Each structure stands twice: as C-alpha cells, then as structure tokens.
C-alpha cells in the first residue's frame, strides 16, 4: 500500500527532477507563427474586454442553449437531473464515513482514501474485478457531462442516474445526490442494474475511521 | 461554463496575471509541447489550448511568484499536447516520453519517484497535480476539460498502474 504522504513526497521529488532537466523560462525563445500570435491576441482581447467579447457571442449561444433545452425536455419528458446541494453540515466529531453495507458476493474492501472533500473506497474480488464507491461533500452536484447517457432511477427517494456499460469491460455508473447526507455519491462497478441500486440503498454513515 | 469563464476574467488582477503569464512562459510552454509533438503547428495549438484552459480556470492558477507555477504550466501544456496526439489518432505512449526521462535508475530519486517517472504522461500529470500540487479531482477535471468521473477514473487507473510498477520493483 502506498501511503498518501509517501506519494506526495515522491511526486514532489519527481516534479523537481523533471523541472531541473528543463531550461529556465527566460532561456526559452518565444518563436511563434503569425497565426498563433493572432489567436493569442484574440484570447487576450477576451480577457481584457470580456463584456464586449461575450456580448457579441452571448445572444446566439443563449438562443441555441434554450432551443437545446426545449428539445431535450420534449424528447425526454422530464427535467434534466442534478441540482445544487446545500452546504454540507459537518459532523460533530468529523469522523463519519459513508460506506455501502451490502455488496455482491466476493467483493471486499481493498483501500479507502480521503482527499479533501472526496472519499474513495475501492472493492476488489478474487478475479481482480474492481468496484469503486466515491462520494464528495464539496457541495457541488454532478455535472450534466458526468450524467450524460444515463437513465433516471431512484435510490430510495433520491433521484439518481444509472449509466449502463456500452461495451464489454466498461463499468456501470450510478450517480445520486442525497441532500440529507450532504453528499453526492457515485458507484462505478460491474454489477447488474438491480445490484447497483441495492448497493446504493445500503449506504450508511459509519463512525469508524477510513481503512488505508 | 460561460459563467465560470466570465467570472474568471472579470478581475483586473487576473487580466494582468494572465498577460504576464503569457509574456513570461509561452516560450517555455512551446518547448514542452514540442517535446511531445515534435514541434510545428501542433505544438503551437497545444500552447494555445493550454492558455485557453488557464483563462477558464484562473481561480486555480498558482500566483505568479509561486514556485509551483513552472510545474503547473508544464503539466497543463503537456496534457494539452497529449490530447492533440489522441485527437490525431496517434498512439499515446504506454510509458514515459523518452525526451522526458529524468532518472537513469531507481536509485536516482527514490524508488517511488522513479516508479512515477515510468508512468505514461497522462497518468503522471494527474498524480503530479493531485499529490504534488494538491488539486482536487474537480479542479483537475476543469483544467483538463474532462468530467469529474473521467478524472476520478484516470486517477484510479494511475494509482493502479503505479501500484503494479511498485510491486514489480519490489517496493510494495
């Protein structure tokens, strides 16, 4: 097992060596083509005059976006998934970890890591199959890009999105946001549809600390 | 995304920061992109793409005087260059780029650092941003222009590959 601190130290050491092998920025001549300079002037204009720049583009973009939303609603007959979360309420002792309390046979915890507001728990079976349970309490919902291609399901009473594998070897993904728990959850696993939902519905807050 | 872009560029301090970044580091960034793409128009496109990403994510760009800046620009530029390789259907490297090998043996910089150096650039980038720079998965997703879940999966695969390398080297 590679510890987080060990990984941080090694990543910093490697980056330092990598940069030491490169010339200093002041020693790198900026020899660009005229077309690049033109593109960059446009970008810098965007940065310097954002209102002028975007006013010229905002109207058609909004019209197109509105049209796309109307089409999507007409086609799907439902609202797009995902909504902003209320800021999570920190636990009194700060040590609650959400975990599934049920998994299909054969899967056992392999490692658990916390990185800021994210907790990731990896489960493995004897055949090397992996399932990942991840949640974040950063207060942001899943983006539409995350949920693209999924179908609406329910995890208990919470609206969720299930995206089934497109090809052999892909994992199924289940996303949901539980405002009561103040977290957005994601399971990525090779489980059947009903098992994905069963795993999601078994998630409980536990006071036990993370197992590295 | 539009709102994020607008909010990112409305501050006068950030405009100055962006222009200073451009003036100071564009030659350096071109060198990095050229290492991956072997020069030419593609390398310029990678630098432009990197600046676009930076403009959209000014809130997570290190301060100009930060010692992290050079490494940050290195990673973002290399990542954009790799994206161009993929778009062109050119094979992505399975291991590190030959031009970017910094260790000659595992004893040079510590065994774990050596294992990181043996990862493909895409995996190195996510490991460096997360563990050397301290970015969250969501911030990395924004910088790389990918979804949170894709960034998480990339992180997971990078760590799996690193673990395999460490096991092979007898570190674990």
A23 versus B74: the higher-pLDDT residue is B74
* Res A79: pLDDT: 36
Residue of B nearest to A185 (CA): B149
Strand partners, A160: A153, A176
Q: Is A4 in CB contact (< 8 Å) with chain B?
A: yes
| Of B32, B68, B24, nearest in space to B50 by CA | B32
Residue of A nearest to B137 (CA): A118
Residue A210's pLDDT band (boundaries 50, 70, 90)?
confident
A209 versus B84: the higher-pLDDT residue is B84
* Res B70: pLDDT: 94
| Residues of A whose CB is below 8 A from B24 | 25-26
CB atoms closer than 10 angstroms to residue B168? 11
ipTM value, please give it: 0.85
Q: What is the DSSP string of chain A?
A: ---HHHHHHHHHHHHHHHHHTS--GGGS-----HHHHHHHHHHHHHHH-HHHHHHHHHHHHHHHHHHHHHHHHHHHSSPPS--PPPPPPPPSSS--EEE-S---TT-EEEEEEEETTEEEEEEE-TTS-EEEEEEE-SS-PPPHHHHTT-EEEEETTEEEEEE--SSTT--EEEEEEETTTTEEEEEEES--HHHHHHHHHT-EEE-SPP--
Cβ distance of B147 and A145 shorter than 8 Å: yes
Residues A153-162 have a mean pLDDT of 90
| Residues of A whose CB is below 8 A from B30 | 28, 30-32
User: Which of 123-182 (A) contact B at CB < 8 A?
Assistant: 132, 134, 136, 138, 140, 142-143, 145-146, 148, 173, 175
Residues B24-31 have a mean pLDDT of 93
B48 Cβ contact partners less than 8 Å away, ≥ 6 residues apart: A36, A39, A40, A43
* Res B115: pLDDT: 92
Residues B136-152 have a mean pLDDT of 90
Measure in Å the smallest separation between the Cα of B91 and chain A Cα atoms: 21
* Res B24: pLDDT: 92
**pLDDT, tens digit, for every residue of B105-133?**
777 767 899 999 999 989 999 999 999 99
| Residues of A whose CB is below 8 A from B110 | 10, 13
Measure in Å the smallest separation between the Cα of B127 and chain A Cα atoms: 7
Residues A109-120 have a mean pLDDT of 81
* Res B133: pLDDT: 95
Which of A17, A31, A61 is closest, CB to CB, to B2? Answer: A61
Q: Calculate helix-pair angle for B2-9, B40-56, nearest 10 degrees.
A: 80
- Choose from A15-19, A82-86, B85-89 the range with maximum mean pLDDT: A15-19
* Res B94: pLDDT: 61
Q: Is A56 in CB contact (< 8 Å) with chain B?
A: no
Measure in Å the smallest separation between the Cα of A18 and chain B Cα atoms: 6
Longest dimension (CA), chain A: 62
Cβ distance of A115 and B130 shorter than 8 Å: yes
**pLDDT, tens digit, for every residue of A55-69?**
555 666 667 777 777
Q: Is A8 in CB contact (< 8 Å) with chain B?
A: yes
- Output the average pLDDT for chain A: 78
Q: What is the gyration radius of the CA atoms in chain B, in angstroms?
A: 16
Q: Is the pLDDT of residue A54 over 70?
A: no
Residue A21's pLDDT band (boundaries 50, 70, 90)?
confident
Cα B102 versus chain centre, distance: 17
A33 versus A187: the higher-pLDDT residue is A187
A123 Cβ contact partners less than 8 Å away, ≥ 6 residues apart: A103, A107, A108, A109, A110, A130, A131, A132, A133, A189
| Residues of A whose CB is below 8 A from B113 | 10-11, 13-14, 17
| Residues of A whose CB is below 8 A from B1 | none
Cα A142 versus chain centre, distance: 7
């Amino acid at each position: 097992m590679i510890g987080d601190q060990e990984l941080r130290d090694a990543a910093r050491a490697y980056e330092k060596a990598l940069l030491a092998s490169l010339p200093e920025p002041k020693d790198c001549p900026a020899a660009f083509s005229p077309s690049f300079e033109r593109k960059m002037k446009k970008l810098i204009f965007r940065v310097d005059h954002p209102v002028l720049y975007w006013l010229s583009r905002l109207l058609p973009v909004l019209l197109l976006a509105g049209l796309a939303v109307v089409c999507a609603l007409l086609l799907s007959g439902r609202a797009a998934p995902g909504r902003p979360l209320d800021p999570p309420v920190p636990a009194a002792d700060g040590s609650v970890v959400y975990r599934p309390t049920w998994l299909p046979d054969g899967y056992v915890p392999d490692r658990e890591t916390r990185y800021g507001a994210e907790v990731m728990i990896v489960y493995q079976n004897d055949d090397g199959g992996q399932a990942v349970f991840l949640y974040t309490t950063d207060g942001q919902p899943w983006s539409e890009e995350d949920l693209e291609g999924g179908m609406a399901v329910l995890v208990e009473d919470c609206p969720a999105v299930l995206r089934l594998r497109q090809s052999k070897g892909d994992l199924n993904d289940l996303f949901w946001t539980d405002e009561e728990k103040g977290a957005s959850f994601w399971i990525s696993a090779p489980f059947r549809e009903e098992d994905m939902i069963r795993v999601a519905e078994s998630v409980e807050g536990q006071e036990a600390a993370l197992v590295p | 995304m539009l709102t994020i872009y607008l909010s990112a560029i409305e501050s006068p301090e950030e405009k100055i920061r962006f222009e200073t970044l451009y003036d100071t580091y564009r030659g350096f960034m071109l060198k990095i992109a050229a290492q991956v793409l072997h020069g030419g128009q593609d390398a310029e496109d990678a630098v432009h793409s990197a600046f676009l990403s930076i403009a959209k994510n000014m809130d997570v760009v290190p301060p100009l005087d930060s010692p992290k800046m050079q490494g940050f620009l290195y990673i973002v530029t290399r990542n954009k260059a790799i994206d161009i390789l993929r778009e062109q259907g050119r094979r992505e490297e399975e291991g590190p780029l030959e031009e970017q090998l910094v260790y000659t043996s595992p004893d040079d910089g510590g065994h774990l650092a050596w294992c990181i150096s043996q990862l493909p650039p895409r995996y190195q980038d996510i490991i460096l941003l997360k563990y050397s720079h301290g970015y969250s998965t969501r911030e990395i997703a924004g910088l790389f222009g990918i979804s949170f879940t894709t960034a998480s999966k990339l992180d997971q695969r990078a760590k799996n590959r690193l673990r395999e390398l460490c096991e092979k080297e007898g570190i674990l």
